[in-house]
Amino acid sequence: MRVDVVTIFPDYLAPLQLSLVGKAREAGLIDVAVHDLREWATDRHRTVDDTPYGGGAGMVMKPDVWGAALDTITVKPGEGKGAADARPHLVVPTPAGEPFTQARAAELSADSWLIFACGRYEGIDARVVADARTRMRVSELSIGDYVLNGGEVAALVMIEAIVRLIPGVIGNPESLAEESHGPDGLLEYPVYTKPPSWRGQDVPEILLSGHHAKVARWRRDEALRLTARRRPDLLARLGDDALDARDREV
């Protein structure tokens, strides 16, 4: 997968060199490039924003600068960088976007080329997304119901969630099946390691029993209870066949 990030704060994306995403880069599973939007500004002050039509507070990012940036990054194969068979999917982090979920992360992890357009200020001139839609897939996505100062941190969040789903990035793919927001739609059950007793708290007896079926049942019960308590919205969204009669007793 190729990942391009366009931002006026390239340093904000430094964590992409680290840890899981950094290792995926080193292993050649992903190719990440971070671009400074100001490279496409044309005036002496490298201006990227201007006052909003219709008035109001704040500044709006200029369409001509964003248009030039996206044109350069997506030049046709043969003319420049774009991988020959790849079609870009433009992701625009915005608090006004559709929810970024584990399902969205999984879909995006199958794409061969993602471009993250990080806006600052009051946002990017709306014509940039409209114009991009004429030649590429575009998703405007939000990571949650709160406001950040810009799309950079949201892009980091999304890239980490997406990249760990690319085959080969996570050592043991079974660890993806049992985590929160995994295939069963439940939050993850609590986990324990040694010692068996710590500060007066004992590891639940059943986990020491070696009885695999009972352990599995206990974990499912705990996952169901936790989800009902913390995220009743997730339980309500499960399909009719997701819970059996035994689950419904919990």
Q: Which residues bind ligand 6GU (CB under 6 A)?
A: 93-95, 97, 141-144, 146-148, 150-151, 154
By DSSP bridging, strand 89-99 and strand 113-117 are parallel
As given in the structure block, the two tokens for residue 191 are: 């986990």
As given in the structure block, the two tokens for residue 138 are: 């575009």
Amino acid at 149: N
Residue 114 annotated in ligand binding: no
- In the complex, what is the shortest distance from the CB of residue 148 to ligand 6GU, in angstroms, rounded to a whole number? 3
- In the complex, what is the shortest distance from the CB of residue 80 to ligand 6GU, in angstroms, rounded to a whole number? 28
Pick 74 or 139: Cβ nearer ligand 6GU: 139
116: three-class secondary structure by DSSP: strand
Residue 147 annotated in ligand binding: yes
- In the complex, what is the shortest distance from the CB of residue 185 to ligand 6GU, in angstroms, rounded to a whole number? 22
- In the complex, what is the shortest distance from the CB of residue 70 to ligand 6GU, in angstroms, rounded to a whole number? 18
Residue 138 annotated in ligand binding: no
Residue 145 annotated in ligand binding: yes
- Residue in this structure with the two tokens 């419904």, named with its chain if needed: 248
Beta partners for 33? 4
Distance of CA 84 to the CA centre of its chain: 25
177: how many CB neighbours lie within 10 A of its CB?
A: 10
The sign of the torsion formed by the CA atoms of 218, 221, 226, 229 equals negative
Pick 49 or 222: Cβ nearer ligand 6GU: 49
Pick 88 or 93: Cβ nearer ligand 6GU: 93
Residue 144 annotated in ligand binding: yes
Q: Binding site for S-adenosyl-L-methionine: residue ranges?
A: 119, 143-148
Q: Binding site: residue ranges?
A: 119, 143-148
